[in-house]
Structure 1
Amino acid sequence: MAKKDTKSAADSSVKRSADQSKNGSESFDAAAFSRGTREELAKVIWPTRQQLISESAAVILMVGLSATLIYFIDKLFGWASRQVF
């Protein structure tokens, strides 16, 4: 039941924002922004420590492999251009 109340409160703040923009008197409401930000962050599924470590390792490995591949391709093209010119 509390979720329904939260949703209706969020809907009313969105309606107020829409009404303000129609009237041309837009103003920044820090409290509403903070509430909305907290609500959105509560929806995020945060990774576990193990997921974070393994996925970070995968990213570092792929970046290293990509950089190595680009390095060797650059060396190949450098060698080929020296042969031609």
Structure 2
Amino acid sequence: MAKTKKTVETEANKPEGFDVTKYANETKEELAKVVWPSRQQLISESAAVILMVILVATVIYVVDNLFIFVSGAVF
């Protein structure tokens, strides 16, 4: 009797195989829950990201050239 309980328990805990249609349906359901940005918000946030990338790249460039100048003057 204990053996049958273990068999039932192991079959219940047994992982199922990968089901492509189930995966596609669940993905579709999750994408329906996503709150997509408006066009204005998308443009605004994209511009902010591009400006920050340009700013950080400029700061790195200036600091790099400063180190080049200082190391050239010292050595």
- TM-score w.r.t. the length of structure 1 is 0.69
RCO higher in structure (CA 8 A, sep ≥6): 1
Aligned residues: 64
Deviation string 1:7-27 (CA, Å, 9 cap, x unpaired) is xxxxxxxxxxxx4xx335x42
Q: Secondary structure at the match of 1:45?
A: coil
Tell me the C-alpha RMSD between the 2 structures.
1.2
Give the aligned partner of residue 82 of structure 1.
Answer: 72
Q: Which has the larger radius of gyration?
A: 2
Tell me what 1:34 maps to: 24
Q: Could you tell me which amino acid in structure 2 is paired with residue 80 of structure 1?
A: V
Q: Which consecutive segments of 4 or more residues in structure 1 shift more than 2 A? A: none
Say whether residues 1:23 and 2:23 are aligned partners: no
Give secondary structure in 1 for the equivalent of 2:36.
coil
Q: Which runs of 5+ in 1 are unaligned?
A: 1-18
Which structure 2 segments of 5+ residues have no match? 1-11
Deviation at 1:39, TM superposition (A): 1.1
Q: TM-score, normalised by structure 2?
A: 0.78
